[in-house]
Structure 1
């Protein structure tokens, strides 16, 4: 689910969304959009920005400096990469990019380093051990490319780190640790991850509600991983993983306890703090703990009769991507949220912390009111005309805090990601979208099928 509720205000003609075309580049993908890939990345050492545009038969590499002026380009054929998708990128110490071309059928990655100075390339093939491992996710960090896999038989994760054209394997052994499920029954590490697949949290980005409701989340830090497990109502089991010496440290954070048993719970790690929620239809508990000491920094308890005083938005229910509807009171909100997978997301920009608290789920009851069909999971809208249609929905509210964890009365302003979603929803000519977050703004790259050009647009948080 997107943070669509802000669009109620953004759609107004009196509001101007901050969006600036930085540059464009003419290219014809020859109506083969499905066979094309676009990816944008920043060299975090030089701060050069690279645009990789792969058509069915060619690859264009555009190199921009930090001011987004085109400094170099390399156009080449798709030798060795036919019928492969662009999976990721990395940058070597000499500043040149390596692209990773994936084939699910061949179970392999073709690594190609492109030398812009003399317009040559060098290819290597990496066979992914998918017979013994399942692929969890891939990501870029500090100019390196990472593959994270789960061993199919052993109690372990496998990390492959691609750096300067070399692949280094890291075996992360979890066999010494104990795990329990929601019913406090012992489970293996493999069973926990099978029942609760790992979701990758974007570093320095706003992670939307549908992602943060995952019970198993992984956070990327320099040479480290943080793995949190929240399948149990009583505790968050956290593992601090050192990718250099392979040391894994377990930390346990007890969740806040209310008068009645919780129905749903979760946590979110952000800048050495753990945000934990535990709730049922009668009470919402939010606890913020210091990562180092495990001590509680802030605690909030809200009953169904209370007003949520740290909310900066209405209590909202959203059906698919339609306009959200206000829930009448805290009791309605907690009743709805207690039946969902709950989650909390924390995002920081230059001014504040933004906390989204809510839950998401699916429903099969659809009602018709005045000829308009929409899901009504919680019975807020009377009707007798029901039929079965699967519908995604969420309930949530949003809160703005200072960086010292003090709630504010500020009004929500849109994030760059909100504006990007809105732009793409209203500009059907923009296809193959890809975005990269820089220090204080986000670049959206897309192909304009009408103008036949690659476009880089700048989006920032807040109103213009």
Structure 2
């Protein structure tokens, strides 16, 4: 994912890479091994921060208070973790963390709760029907751990919610609904997901184009999940899933109407609004609709001979990891965009909306002497736009987000290993092991210029 952010970061040649060292801790890691892991995470109720370090057959958990002062730690042998990867975490009402370890080979999950008071742990094994329910995604929400699976033969998603040592199974049944492919031909729910796997959008964070070009996106709300399907160029099919009573409501949002049929289209949900966009070689069409009423709040059409008045950056094209280059005009931009997987991303800070519009090429197979090899060369075109919260255009200067600065910092510091990023209060924390100083570091990054 790093290079996706880099093409944003290279725009900010004047970024001062100043950052605040929040805390450091000496770690006796002789060398970083393949199975070593470090994860930092927050208890959303107490705002304590935990750092979990797994290395050389042992684990260490560092516990920081909300001011990021170390106030407890827990060390022991890594008894349960052989050949397992850390899926996620949750917190019990007593404030102690629970970690979830998945085995691809065993197809089960080891659940380990750590008791800081007694410096002991307790492990359980969770078996689920992995043969028929492959995992789609996993996430933490309100101190619970959740993972979503898909039924292989039935149009169902199964959500498992872990809280306070109890797991709840929630079956999301899509059998009452009908689905169509790109050519408006009938297709099953499972066929749609096989061709367009679900991509989970990170709530409250900037989701890059590499994620938002997905045709099937999942958004986490308070007691709901929104699932949007954009494989059909004519509409966005949206499912509003109530996690309390498991009721699923369908809404269909017609794509903006253009003079010529679109070649690429997508949507993005943000704060009860659906942002829909499509393009061909002649025109870019963009609508913003209220989720409840489906009323059009703003509609924009840009022809190839027009100037895109709401852009706050040049029209840019980037190939692989090379620096972006500016495209001369809208026609050139649309010519490239219409052949790519299109996406739009919307992110809000305290003042403005930051909108990214663009597309990324698909991976294709190249033939050489009878063998096929994936062509991993990528092409990306995009531009940035800054709006006020009333959906008005601005002429503000583009400023880097904290995540842009983090990835630029990571690219310049080769001594870093086992990196993890977390959102905390109104800033972001980069945690990593410094292979030179043998310390675990946590650095603070904020949006905007320093």
Whether these two folds match at TM > 0.5 is yes
- Cα shift at 1:244: 1.8
Contact (CA 8 Å) 2:12, 2:399: kept in 1 or not? no
Residue of structure 1 in register with 2:148 after alignment: 148
SS at match of 1:422: helix
Whole-Å separation in 1 of the counterparts to 2:32 and 2:182: 48
Whole-Å separation in 1 of the counterparts to 2:221 and 2:432: 28
Residue of structure 2 in register with 1:417 after alignment: 403
Contact (CA 8 Å) 1:342, 1:358: kept in 2 or not? yes
Contact (CA 8 Å) 2:64, 2:72: kept in 1 or not? yes
Equivalent positions of 1:168-247 (< 5 A) are 168-247=168-247
Residue of structure 1 in register with 2:334 after alignment: 334
Residue of structure 1 in register with 2:436 after alignment: 450
Matching of residue 400 in structure 1 with residue 386 in structure 2: yes
Contact (CA 8 Å) 2:283, 2:301: kept in 1 or not? yes
SS at match of 2:361: strand
Whole-Å separation in 1 of the counterparts to 2:226 and 2:156: 15
Whole-Å separation in 2 of the counterparts to 1:399 and 1:338: 19
Aligned-residue RMSD, C-alpha: 1.6
Residue of structure 2 in register with 1:66 after alignment: 66
Residue of structure 2 in register with 1:55 after alignment: 55
- Cα shift at 1:249: 0.9
- Cα shift at 1:10: 3.9
Equivalent positions of 1:27-106 (< 5 A) are 27-106=27-106
SS at match of 1:133: coil
Whole-Å separation in 1 of the counterparts to 2:124 and 2:194: 32
Count of aligned positions: 441
Contact (CA 8 Å) 2:5, 2:407: kept in 1 or not? no
User: What whole-Å deviation, never above 9, does each CA across 1:175-234 have from its counterpart, x for those lacking one?
Assistant: 000101110101111111111111111111100001100000001112211100001111
Whole-Å separation in 1 of the counterparts to 2:255 and 2:173: 26
Contact (CA 8 Å) 1:363, 1:393: kept in 2 or not? no
Residue of structure 2 in register with 1:369 after alignment: none
TM-score of the pair, normalised by structure 1: 0.92
Whole-Å separation in 2 of the counterparts to 1:324 and 1:97: 43
Matching of residue 270 in structure 1 with residue 270 in structure 2: yes
Matching of residue 4 in structure 1 with residue 6 in structure 2: yes
Q: Which runs of 5+ in 1 are unaligned?
A: 367-387
Residue of structure 2 in register with 1:428 after alignment: 414
User: What whole-Å deviation, never above 9, does each CA across 1:405-463 have from its counterpart, x for those lacking one?
Assistant: 11100111111111111111111111111111123100111111111111111111111
Whole-Å separation in 1 of the counterparts to 2:348 and 2:211: 17
User: What whole-Å deviation, never above 9, does each CA across 1:108-164 have from its counterpart, x for those lacking one?
Assistant: 111001011111111110123210111111111111111111100111001000111
Aligned pair partner of 2:423 in 437, 442, 448: 437
1:398–1:9 distance in 2 versus 1, CA, 3 Å: closer
Residue of structure 1 in register with 2:446 after alignment: 460
Contact (CA 8 Å) 2:54, 2:60: kept in 1 or not? yes
